[in-house]
């Protein structure tokens, strides 16, 4: 996992290490008003995201609702056209691709959606749902017998009865439907799967089934995952590296042990402290930092650092300057904060030092 | 104060009788917090609605059991008396704060209505009280906010307003049905902290219904685990989390990625799905999914029995057998014990 982390990753401009990169990716949705539908503002759903996903890894992307996680997923697949930026898949910027070339890219990038009730067409049989990508991309060509065999094989891989290919989605439970969604996603042997909250609609006892399945498939088919979730425990369980998003921006990114062990950004730290742990003893001993207020509207984000109005450490400096995603002491650990939480510090301790590497570096 | 004995809530449908709650008993002391955990469809919410007597009759029926609140059986109380108890002595907060507030009335108006129904206050006094409870739950600028409509509130603030309404008459029991499920974690932390604060201030007993075991371990003094309409384990929170004696509770804890250990061990998948409440399995309800199952489980329906002092569980396995099985599965998962 971490042996890949040698050398400075950002200096490496080649496609070698990374399967997917985004550079300064932005999605600003216009807000229209009035009789003439004039644009009166923008919802900055994704606002300058640089992310690199290594081959074979699972990158977790966490954040609260409305932070732009799902929009990011749609941008990578070009289900939405970004306002600005680059999406580089396997060394090539795919944003300029026409429909035909895009089709070949989509063969390699697939998505598993959040809601297994809404993402499967209720009027198609499971066999047809799973076979659809095969038809669209014209693989296992010609004979429908061959295609049927492939579909049954896929159903078996995800732990469903292959004899059920003639049934409709409503005949399956939530967990089983999500397995169908996974079967559809792996049908084309993609290299990258974007999992957009794949288990949050499922009951707790079913979540583990789907998470284990995703982990097994990754090993078996050498898949790369971008795993989007709001649940930091699930992300911790499945990810090699984790990025935390807040109001359309990445605020911290590093490998799993560092993010959960030594978070630098006060937002990450307070998110971690907000999650209840199913262990009464630990809960009694825990000191919880409760951050106040709600997530601000992405149409009108706060000045300077986006997080300053909720941040327990914020200084005047934060309201005027916008922090960049700066390298921390560890290689491969970046956080966007002027006054990062240092080792042994409490989150709510007001920072007094000079702004972190803002001018010095 | 509140005592539920062998409560059964059944719904008559065309397909058969849905045994949504099938023999649940517990008691609640003033100032105590009880957690009810279980998956969707396990009967948690119906239990809550039965206490409030809010299940529509028909199709709901209460073939057996009693709900004793301050020496009266709520199942036999007149509607008029129930009106007085509901909201005044026993209040409830629902999961979705958007659908539980009326969108065409201001928030202040709705809280004032609850106050005026239950307390003999003039309009002006009720208005004052409304502002005060809104301030209590941490809403800034309550005078202005009381005049606003629910859509002008964020999710967290709506839930605060619901709590304000629930607590406006100083109820003795507050039933919170998944109060934070629709909220983000940072907002959840705010709401849970608020509930603890208000409980300390008013001495309210809380029934906390949730599927989140973390929330239970943070708040509850004791826990009832429900599965397919039955209570399958009841004990103090520590007992249930550190020494669960029903395979279902134990499996739930092992199936959960937890912040403190996540990524180091494989999760235990609980195979299959919860049973239909019309056609329950033979023998133990959990037997088709149980990792500790043995042949007798498919024949004998276990009753809730005291396995240890003040710790009941519904399983025919002895404590030794359960411990042996836990050890076996833990080894397979790579959990260090």
pLDDT tens column, B199-246: 888 889 999 999 889 999 999 999 999 999 999 999 999 999 999 999
Q: Is B214's CB within 8 Å of A277's CB?
A: yes
Cβ contact, residue pair A64, B184, below 8 Å? yes
* Span B96-121, average pLDDT: 87
Predicted local distance difference test score (pLDDT) of residue A351: 65
Binary contact (B185, A279; C-beta < 8 A): no
- Measured in degrees and rounded to the nearest 5, phi and psi for residue A188 equal -95, 15
Give the pLDDT mean for B66-92: 87
Strand order from edge to edge, sheet including A18-33: A38-54, A18-33, A84-89, A92-93
A173 touches B: beta carbon within 8 Å: yes
Question: pTM of the entire structure?
Answer: 0.86
> Token pair for residue B262?
């996540």
Residues of B whose CB is below 8 A from A290: 186, 189-190, 193
Phi (first) and psi of residue A220, to 5 degrees:
-70, -40
Say if CB B118 and CB B87 are below 8 A apart.
yes
A69 contacts on B by Cβ (under 8 Å): none
pLDDT for res A142: 64
Q: What is the pLDDT of residue B155?
A: 80
Q: Give yes or no for A282 touching B (CB within 8 A).
A: yes
Residue A204: which of B256, B260, B262 has the nearest Cβ?
B256
A291 contacts in chain B (CB < 8 Å) = 186, 189
Quick one: pLDDT at residue B263?
A: 67
Q: Please report the pLDDT score of residue B262 as a whole number.
A: 66
Cβ-defined contact of A205 to B156 (cutoff 8 Å):
no
Residue of B160, B267, B333 to mutate for A, most A C-beta atoms under 10 A: B267
**pLDDT score recorded for residue B337:** 59
Average of pLDDT values for B312-323?
Answer: 90
Q: What is the pLDDT of residue A245?
A: 94
Q: Are A200 and B182 in contact (CB under 8 A)?
A: no
CA distance A184 to chain B (A): 21
Please report where in the chains the tokens 């949504």 appear, as a residue: B20
Confidence at residue A66, expressed as pLDDT on a 0 to 100 scale: 83
* pLDDT number for residue A360: 45
Q: What is the pLDDT of residue B53?
A: 87
Contact flag A276-B214 (C-beta cutoff 8 Å): yes
* B156, B238, B262 ranked by CB distance to A280: nearest: B238
Chain A hits for B193, CB-CB cut-off 8 Å, are 288, 290
pLDDT at residue A239, rounded to an integer: 93
- Looking at beta carbons, which residues of chain B come within 8 Å of A208? 255-257, 267-270
**Chain A residue with Cα closest to B259:** A233
Find the mean pLDDT for residues B321-326.
Answer: 90
Model confidence at B300, pLDDT cuts 50, 70, 90, reads confident
Measured CA distances, A349 to A246, A260, A312, A346, B38 (Å): 21, 19, 8, 5, 39
* pLDDT band, very low/low/confident/very high, at B193 (cuts 50, 70, 90): confident
Tens of pLDDT, residue by residue over B275-292, are: 888 888 888 999 999 999
* Cβ-based contacts of A272 with chain B (< 8 Å): 259
Considering only CB atoms, which chain B residues are within 8 Å of A65? 184
Q: Report the C-alpha gap between A231 and A208 in whole angstroms.
A: 13
Identify the CA nearest to A110 among candidates A133, A91, A128.
Answer: A133
Looking at chain B, the whole-number percentage of residues with pLDDT higher than 70 is 99
The DSSP letter of residue A323 is P
What span, in angstroms and rounded, lies between the C-alpha atoms of A303 and A300?
A: 9
Taking CB atoms and an 8 Å limit, are B211 and A203 in contact across chains? yes
Judged by CB atoms within 8 Å, which residues 204-243 of A form the interface with B?
204-209, 211-212, 230-234, 236-239
Tell me if A278 sits within 8 A of A352, measured CB to CB.
Answer: no
User: How far apart, in whole angstroms, are the C-alpha atoms of residue B320 and residue B202?
Assistant: 43
Instruction: Provide the pLDDT for residue A358.
Output: 45
* Contact (CB<8Å) A282/B260: yes
Report whether A187 contacts A104 (CB < 8 A).
Answer: no
Per-residue pLDDT of chain A (361 residues; tens, 9 = 90+): 444 444 444 434 444 789 999 999 999 999 888 888 888 888 899 999 999 999 999 999 998 888 888 899 999 999 999 999 999 998 889 998 998 889 889 999 999 998 888 899 999 999 999 999 988 888 766 677 888 888 998 999 898 888 888 999 998 888 889 999 999 999 999 999 999 999 888 888 888 889 999 999 999 999 999 999 988 999 999 999 999 999 999 999 999 999 998 899 999 998 998 888 888 898 888 888 888 888 888 888 888 899 998 888 888 888 888 898 888 888 889 999 988 888 777 777 766 666 765 444 4
Write down the pLDDT at residue A235: 92
From CA A119, how far away is CA A194, in angstroms rounded?
14
Q: Which residues of B touch A273 (CB under 8 A)?
A: 189
CB contact under 8 A, B211 and A204: yes
CB B191 within 8 A of CB B155: no
Q: What is the DSSP string of A112-125?
A: E-S-TTTSS-TTS-
Closest CA to B285 of B301, B305, B262: B301
């Amino acid at each position: 996992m971490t042996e890949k982390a040698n050398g400075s990753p950002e200096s490496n401009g080649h496609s070698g290490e990374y399967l997917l990169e985004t550079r300064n990716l932005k999605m600003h949705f216009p807000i229209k008003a009035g009789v003439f539908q004039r644009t009166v503002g923008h919802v900055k759903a994704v606002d300058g995201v640089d992310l690199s996903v290594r081959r074979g890894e699972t990158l977790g992307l966490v954040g609260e609702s409305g932070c732009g996680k799902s929009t990011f997923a749609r941008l990578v697949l070009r289900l939405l056209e970004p306002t600005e930026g680059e999406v580089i898949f396997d060394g090539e910027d795919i944003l300029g691709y026409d429909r035909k070339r895009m089709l070949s890219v989509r063969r390699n990038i697939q998505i598993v959606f959040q809601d297994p009730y809404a993402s499967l067409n209720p009027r198609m049989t499971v066999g047809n749902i799973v076979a659809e990508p095969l038809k669209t991309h014209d693989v296992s060509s010609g004979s429908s017998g061959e295609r049927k065999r492939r579909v049954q094989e896929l159903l078996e891989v995800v732990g469903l009865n292959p004899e059920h290919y003639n049934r409709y989605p409503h005949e399956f439970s939530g967990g089983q439907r999500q397995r169908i969604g996974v079967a559809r996603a792996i049908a084309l042997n993609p290299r990258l799967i974007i999992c957009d909250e794949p288990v949050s609609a499922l009951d707790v006892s079913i979540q583990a089934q789907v998470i284990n399945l995703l982990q097994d498939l990754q090993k078996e088919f050498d898949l790369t995952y971008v795993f989007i979730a709001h649940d930091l425990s699930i992300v911790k369980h499945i990810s090699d590296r984790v990025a935390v998003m807040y109001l359309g921006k990445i605020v911290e990114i590093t490998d799993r042990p560092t993010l959960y062990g030594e978070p630098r950004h006060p937002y990450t730290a307070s998110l971690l402290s907000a999650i209840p742990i199913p262990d009464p003893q630990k809960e009694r001993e825990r000191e919880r930092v409760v951050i106040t207020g709600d997530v601000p509207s992405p149409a009108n984000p706060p000045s300077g650092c986006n997080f300053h109005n909720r941040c327990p450490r914020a200084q005047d400096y934060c309201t005027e300057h916008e922090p960049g995603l700066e390298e921390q002491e560890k290689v491969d650990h970046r956080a966007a904060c002027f006054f990062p939480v240092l080792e042994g510090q409490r989150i709510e301790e007001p920072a007094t030092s000079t702004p972190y590497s803002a001018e010095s570096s | 104060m509140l005592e539920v004995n062998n409560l059964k809530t059944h719904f008559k449908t065309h397909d058969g009788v849905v045994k949504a709650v099938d023999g649940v008993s517990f008691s609640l002391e003033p100032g105590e917090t009880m957690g009810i955990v279980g998956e969707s469809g396990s009967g948690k919410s119906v239990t809550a609605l039965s206490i409030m007597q809010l299940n529509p009759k028909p199709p709901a029926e209460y073939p057996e059991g009693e709900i004793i609140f301050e020496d009266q059986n709520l199942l036999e109380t007149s509607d008029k008396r129930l009106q007085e108890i509901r909201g005044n002595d026993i209040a409830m907060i629902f999961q979705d704060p958007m659908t539980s507030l009326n969108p065409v009335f201001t928030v202040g108006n709705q809280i004032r209505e609850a106050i005026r129904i239950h307390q003999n206050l003039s309009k002006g006094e009720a208005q004052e009280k409304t502002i005060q409870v809104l301030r209590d739950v941490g809403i800034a600028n309550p005078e202005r906010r009381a005049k606003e409509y629910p859509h002008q509130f964020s999710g967290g603030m709506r839930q605060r307003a619901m709590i304000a309404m629930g607590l406006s008459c100083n109820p003795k029991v507050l039933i919170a049905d998944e109060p934070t499920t629709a909220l983000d974690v940072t907002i959840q932390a705010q709401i849970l902290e608020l509930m603890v604060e208000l409980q300390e201030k008013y001495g309210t007993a809380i029934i906390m219904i949730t599927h989140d075991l973390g929330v239970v371990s943070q708040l509850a003094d004791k826990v009832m685990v429900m599965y397919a309409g039955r209570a399958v384990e009841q004990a103090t929170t520590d007992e249930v989390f550190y020494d669960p004696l029903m395979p279902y509770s134990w499996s739930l804890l092992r199936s959960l990625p937890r912040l403190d250990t996540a990524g180091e061990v494989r999760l235990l998948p609980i195979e299959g799905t919860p049973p239909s409440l019309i056609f329950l399995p033979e023998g133990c309800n959990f037997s088709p999914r149980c990792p500790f199952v043995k042949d007798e489980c498919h024949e004998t329906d276990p009753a809730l029995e005291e396995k240890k002092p003040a710790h009941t569980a519904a399983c025919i396995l002895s404590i030794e057998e359960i411990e042996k099985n836990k050890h076996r599965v833990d080894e397979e998962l790579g959990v260090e014990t």
